[in-house]
């Protein structure tokens, strides 16, 4: 597959309409092999006759398109159906092992790289200590090097690679994949991540903010029934990934969901690194909670120290984390009134403390939000944990490379 620009997940890169609609003719019937393939993405095996009946297309048309998909490797045989007389008809299904995806989670102090199949199943994974402040060429150079090594470890060739998804800990202009004034990423502003990576791995490269892809990964893997979904990351920074009506929301400049710099009333005298006073991040992030404990004479410098103290049953640490949850809940109460989600998931490193943080969030959200907005609202802890970003990066790529338009272009190029 040739390099392609990034796009809105779930939308055709040429038209901007949902991939499920792209390629439909005026009558709404399936018009291309790429569209027929979408029916098979659920993994259910079907015969040519069943596909013809579902789509209304002639069997000869279905057969030709299935043959093209089989030749690409994206569809493979899946046994035989029961026969009503004569030779049993063959069934066909999506083959997620046909290609591989490189999923990358770049954090403030770590890089996680994984190889997945087209269904998001992790085939190999590597975790590295890496400071994002060392700059894009250092970090991405290591991503490329380790990614190639990981592909080999997973038994996949570079030619098997369908695309690369990368999450970064700062605002990203999704159309270009370039970071935009990221506060903790010196040297990254405006850097062409896509072009740099494609010099070594010439495949589609998609880049997004890490919280956005965490939301995408968490929801796809564990909460697909929720069309209005929030993922809240509480770690070194605080941010939200917003999915509304099933679509990821990025905003005009890629900063949608930046809850960390919303003002919390009790923090009027607390200076944030952004230069303002009272920001949520300055009160409830991992480093902020650690600082509040250090003032009380406890040994704490970062979020992991807070988690250690909580695990040891330290009462001031538990109380501080509960208060951090209340501060997060104070901001989320307004968000709930504005966006009316049905599911909020709390993740990030401080989310590992589980119910202590969650108790504070729930206490305030349910008290301060409108009753109607919380009628069906659930608030829970991340189930994907520290794999949320990897799952989301993989999903971001597969939504693109398996869309009708890209499948059709690929079949034409190889046909």
CA 132 – CA 134 distance, rounded (Å): 5
204 burial level (CB within 10 Å; 0-12, 13-18, 19+):
buried
Contact (Cβ atoms closer than 8 angstroms) between residue 3 and residue 396: no
Q: What's the pLDDT score for residue 380? A: 94
Q: Tell me the C-alpha to C-alpha distance, in Å, between residue 176 and each of 11, 147, 207, 230, 245.
A: 16, 22, 8, 24, 24
Contact (Cβ atoms closer than 8 angstroms) between residue 29 and residue 57: yes
CA 215 – CA 232 distance, rounded (Å): 8
Q: What's the pLDDT score for residue 82? A: 65
* pTM of structure: 0.86
Residue 170 neighbours by CB distance under 10 Å? 23
CA 273 – CA 280 distance, rounded (Å): 11
- Along the 415 residues of the chain, how does pLDDT read in single tens digits? 434 434 444 444 332 333 332 233 333 334 578 888 988 998 889 998 889 888 888 888 889 889 999 999 999 988 766 655 556 788 999 999 999 999 999 998 899 999 999 999 999 999 999 999 999 999 999 999 999 999 999 999 999 999 999 999 989 998 899 999 888 899 999 999 999 999 999 999 999 999 999 999 999 999 999 999 999 999 988 999 999 999 999 988 888 999 999 999 888 899 998 889 999 999 999 999 999 999 999 999 989 999 999 999 999 999 999 999 999 999 999 999 999 999 999 999 888 777 899 999 999 999 999 999 999 999 999 999 999 999 999 999 999 999 998 998 888 876 6
Residue 372 neighbours by CB distance under 10 Å? 9
CA 111 – CA 383 distance, rounded (Å): 20
292 burial level (CB within 10 Å; 0-12, 13-18, 19+):
buried
CA 156 – CA 153 distance, rounded (Å): 8
84 burial level (CB within 10 Å; 0-12, 13-18, 19+):
exposed
CA 156 – CA 150 distance, rounded (Å): 9
Q: What's the pLDDT score for residue 57? A: 85
Question: What domains are defined for the chain?
Answer: 33-97 (1.10.10.10), 98-208+389-400 (3.30.420.40), 215-386 (3.30.420.40)
């Amino acid at each position: 597959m040739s390099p392609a620009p990034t796009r809105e997940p779930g939308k055709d890169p040429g038209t901007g309409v949902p991939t499920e609609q792209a390629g439909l003719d005026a009558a709404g019937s399936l018009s291309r092999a790429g569209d027929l393939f979408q029916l098979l993405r659920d993994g259910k095996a079907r015969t040519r006759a069943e596909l013809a009946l579902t789509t209304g297309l002639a069997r000869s048309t279905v057969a030709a398109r299935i043959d093209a998909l089989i030749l690409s490797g994206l569809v493979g045989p899946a046994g035989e159906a029961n026969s009503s007389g004569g030779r049993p008809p063959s069934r066909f299904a999506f083959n997620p092992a046909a290609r591989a995806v490189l999923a990358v989670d770049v954090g403030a102090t770590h890089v996680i790289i994984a190889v997945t199949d087209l269904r998001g199943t992790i085939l190999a994974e590597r975790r590295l200590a890496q400071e994002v402040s060392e700059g894009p060429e250092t970090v991405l150079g290591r991503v490329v090097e380790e990614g190639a090594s990981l592909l080999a470890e997973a038994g996949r060739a570079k030619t098997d690679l369908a695309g690369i998804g990368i999450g970064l800990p700062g605002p990203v202009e999704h159309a270009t994949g370039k970071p935009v004034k990221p506060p903790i990423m010196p040297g990254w502003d405006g850097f062409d991540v896509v072009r740099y990576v494609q010099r070594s791995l010439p495949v589609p490269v998609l880049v997004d903010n890490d919280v956005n892809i965490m939301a995408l990964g968490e929801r796809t893997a564990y909460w697909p029934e929720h069309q209005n979904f929030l993922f809240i990351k509480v770690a070194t920074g605080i941010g939200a990934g917003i999915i509304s009506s099933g679509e990821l929301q990025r905003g005009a400049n890629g900063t949608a969901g930046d809850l960390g710099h919303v003002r919390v009333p009790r923090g009027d005298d607390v200076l944030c690194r952004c230069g303002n006073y009272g920001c949520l991040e300055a009160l409830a992030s991992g480093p902020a909670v650690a600082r509040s404990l250090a003032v009380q004479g406890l040994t704490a410098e970062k979020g992991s120290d807070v988690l250690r103290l909580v695990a040891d049953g330290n009462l001031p640490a538990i109380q501080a984390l509960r208060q951090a949850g209340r501060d997060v809940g104070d901001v989320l109460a307004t968000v709930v009134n504005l966006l009316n989600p049905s599911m909020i998931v709390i993740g990030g490193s401080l989310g590992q403390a589980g119910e202590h943080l969650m108790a504070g969030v729930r206490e305030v959200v349910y008290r301060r939000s409108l009753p109607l907005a919380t009628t069906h609202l659930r608030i829970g802890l991340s189930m994907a944990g520290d794999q949320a970003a990897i799952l989301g990066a993989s999903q971001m790529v597969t939504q693109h490379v398996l869309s009708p338009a890209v499948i059709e272009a690929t079949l034409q190029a190889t046909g």
